[in-house]
């Protein structure tokens, strides 16, 4: 990485910002800006967050005004955002610039001297609290040497809007840092407006897909009003009548933090975990998948490819691919176990497949699917075999239903679906396609509570009856295939 002075000069030049303008925005004499640019001095660590926040806002504004967003990412060797809309998102651009400046600063000055501040601080007001959160979390995330952060929040996500703080974590998170978030919910109040609350749950899980989120019954901590960043610091807060944080006390005092940590962690009890993260090995060890596919009724919400109703030949091809790619022996055994369960029981069951229309199109064009935890790209011939085999099963089993969800449903949700839902009426798990793509466990979340399981199935019923969802019968699926299949295969060959 370039030196801090070189980066600052590069940003000034690229954004066509004069040093005097930057000085005025920061409230500093221009001589300070000159010294920062020639390397004679760097900003003080004490005021670093405020300085970089103002710098990044100014540079982002000028870059956006000059329509240089794409050029910025290329010029500064940054990965282009996966979502096109992020390119035009001023906040995203500001965050990228802020991160560049902070990384360069700490690389050049890894142990800056900071004037000792109090280890307990009180903050009031929504805007002040928002700034204070960022001020405390940003240096923690940007250290770059923390492999795992555990954050316990006693907030009820159905009552308090947690999106702002989760958005901050998601934005600040480094690729190499795993962030685990524990949240609460009041099970007794779940019956009231359960549809809305389940939508809130999936909004959180999908929008903040790079965070590993677990949900607990809050019966042991609903009045604790604590956010604990394990081993680092904590916040205690009060809420206003709308459920928003109105005042905040930050605690880093070691003695207080130790007592509060013990008290808080004891309240997040294992038996109260409603949605729990689980890795592939544990899932295999407990034989979860095999027993899951021996039920007689299912709901699936599929967001990436279509991994079901595969002919045995393709499953064998996936097994051979997994063997070539050095997947574990347990993975290979699991493939065969699930294959047998599908042939003997699953394919004769009552099944509702809910599939995003865009996901079907992507599968037809690209052929990518994720069978269990194995990412596999089918050939055009395999996709044709898949279609023919699926039609045979559908003709034999009228209890299998295909519900295609229109793109407007996704646009209305205002987030990208990365979580697949796999449920029968006794068990349910979620598959995190983002983590699978990154090849970073945990890939799965298990639903451990019958009430939540029931309400998620209720959400499926709501989707099925919505104007965005259309059921396709066998003959209609054949027409769909004839209409779109060959077009996408031709596109594949371009």
Could you state, in chain order, the average pLDDT of each consecutive group of 10 residues for the chain (494 residues)?
87 92 87 89 82 91 90 86 64 87 85 62 90 88 81 94 91 87 95 91 95 97 96 94 90 88 96 96 85 94 94 96 94 92 92 93 91 94 94 95 87 80 96 93 96 95 92 89 74 60
Residue 491: what pLDDT?
65
The residue range of the domain holding 49 is: 4-108
Residue 92: what pLDDT?
83
Distance (Å, whole) CA 478 – CA 230? 55
Task: For residue 442, give the CATH number of its domain.
Answer: 3.30.870
Q: Count of domains in the chain?
A: 3
Q: Which residue has the tokens 């798990």?
A: 429
Question: 321 and 470: one domain?
Answer: yes
Residue 293: what pLDDT?
92
Identify the domain boundary among 232, 251, 273. Answer: 273
Question: 483 and 343: one domain?
Answer: yes
Question: 223 and 129: one domain?
Answer: yes
Count the neighbouring beta carbons within 10 Å of the beta carbon of residue 446.
Answer: 19
Question: 363 and 421: one domain?
Answer: yes
Is the residue at 474 inside a domain?
Answer: yes
Question: 260 and 338: one domain?
Answer: no
Is the residue at 114 inside a domain?
Answer: no
Name the pairing type of β-strands 428-432 and 226-229: unpaired
Residue 303: what pLDDT?
92
3-state secondary structure of 247: strand
3-state secondary structure of 449: coil
Question: 386 and 476: one domain?
Answer: yes
Residue 401: what pLDDT?
96
Q: Using CB atoms within 10 A of its CB, is residue 137 exposed (0-12), middle (13-18) or buried (19+)?
A: buried
Residue 473: what pLDDT?
92
Residue 487: what pLDDT?
76
Residue 409: what pLDDT?
78
Write a three-state SS string for 267-279: HCCHHHEEEEEEC
Residue 117: what pLDDT?
52
Task: For residue 227, give the CATH number of its domain.
Answer: 3.30.870.10
Identify the domain boundary among 80, 108, 136. Answer: 108
Is the residue at 172 inside a domain?
Answer: yes
Distance (Å, whole) CA 218 – CA 54? 39
Identify the domain boundary among 88, 108, 128. Answer: 108
What's the Cα-to-Cα distance from 309 to each of 252, 319, 324, 347, 473, rounded to whole Å? 54, 16, 24, 7, 15
Question: 393 and 340: one domain?
Answer: yes
Question: 99 and 153: one domain?
Answer: no
Question: 222 and 158: one domain?
Answer: yes
Residue 491 C-alpha from the chain's centroid? 30
Is the residue at 113 inside a domain?
Answer: no
């Amino acid at each position: 990485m370039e030196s801090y002075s070189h980066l600052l000069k590069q940003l000034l030049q690229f954004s066509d910002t004069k040093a005097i303008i930057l000085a005025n925005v920061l409230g500093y004499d221009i001589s300070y800006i000159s010294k920062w640019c020639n390397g004679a001095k760097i900003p003080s660590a004490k005021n670093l967050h405020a300085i970089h926040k103002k710098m990044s806002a100014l540079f982002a504004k000028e870059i956006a005004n000059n329509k240089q967003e794409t050029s910025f990412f290329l010029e500064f060797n940054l990965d282009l955002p996966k979502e096109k809309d992020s390119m035009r998102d001023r906040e995203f651009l500001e965050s990228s610039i802020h991160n560049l400046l902070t990384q360069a600063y700490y690389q050049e000055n890894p142990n800056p001297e900071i004037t000792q501040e109090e280890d307990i601080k009180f903050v009031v007001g929504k805007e002040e609290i928002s700034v204070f959160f960022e001020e405390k979390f940003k240096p923690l995330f940007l250290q770059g040497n923390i492999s795992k952060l555990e954050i316990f929040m006693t907030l009820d996500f159905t009552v308090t809007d947690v999106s702002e703080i989760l958005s901050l974590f998601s934005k600040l998170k480094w690729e190499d840092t795993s962030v685990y978030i524990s949240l609460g919910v009041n099970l007794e109040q779940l019956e009231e407006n359960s549809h809305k609350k389940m939508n809130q749950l999936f909004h959180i899980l999908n929008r903040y897909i790079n965070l590993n989120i677990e949900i607990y019954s809050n019966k042991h901590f609903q009045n604790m009003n604590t956010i604990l960043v394990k081993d680092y610091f904590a916040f205690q807060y009060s809420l206003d009548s709308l459920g928003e944080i109105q005042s905040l006390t930050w605690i880093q005092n070691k003695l207080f933090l130790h007592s509060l940590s013990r008290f808080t962690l004891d309240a997040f009890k294992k038996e109260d975990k409603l949605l729990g993260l689980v890795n592939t090995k544990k899932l295999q060890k407990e034989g979860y998948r095999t027993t899951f596919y021996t039920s007689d009724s299912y709901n699936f919400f599929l967001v990436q490819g279509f991994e079901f109703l595969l002919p045995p030949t393709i499953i064998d091809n996936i097994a051979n691919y997994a063997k070539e790619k050095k997947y574990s022996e347990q993975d290979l055994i699991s493939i065969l176990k699930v294959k047998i369960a599908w042939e003997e029981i699953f394919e004769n069951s009552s099944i509702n497949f809910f599939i995003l229309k865009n996901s079907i199109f992507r599968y037809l064009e690209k052929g990518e699917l994720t069978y269990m935890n194995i990412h596999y790209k089918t050939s055009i011939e395999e996709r044709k075999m898949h279609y023919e085999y699926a039609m045979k099963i559908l003709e034999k089993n009228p209890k299998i239903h295909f519900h295609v969800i229109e793109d407007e449903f996704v646009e209305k949700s205002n987030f990208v679906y990365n979580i697949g839902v796999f449920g029968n009426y006794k068990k349910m798990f979620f598959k995190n396609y983002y983590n699978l793509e990154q090849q970073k466990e945990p890939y799965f979340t298990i639903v451990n509570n019958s009430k939540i399981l029931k309400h998620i199935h209720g959400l499926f019923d709501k989707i099925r009856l919505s104007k965005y969802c259309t059921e396709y019968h066998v003959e209609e699926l054949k027409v769909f295939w004839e209409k779109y299949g060959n077009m996408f295969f031709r596109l594949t060959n371009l």
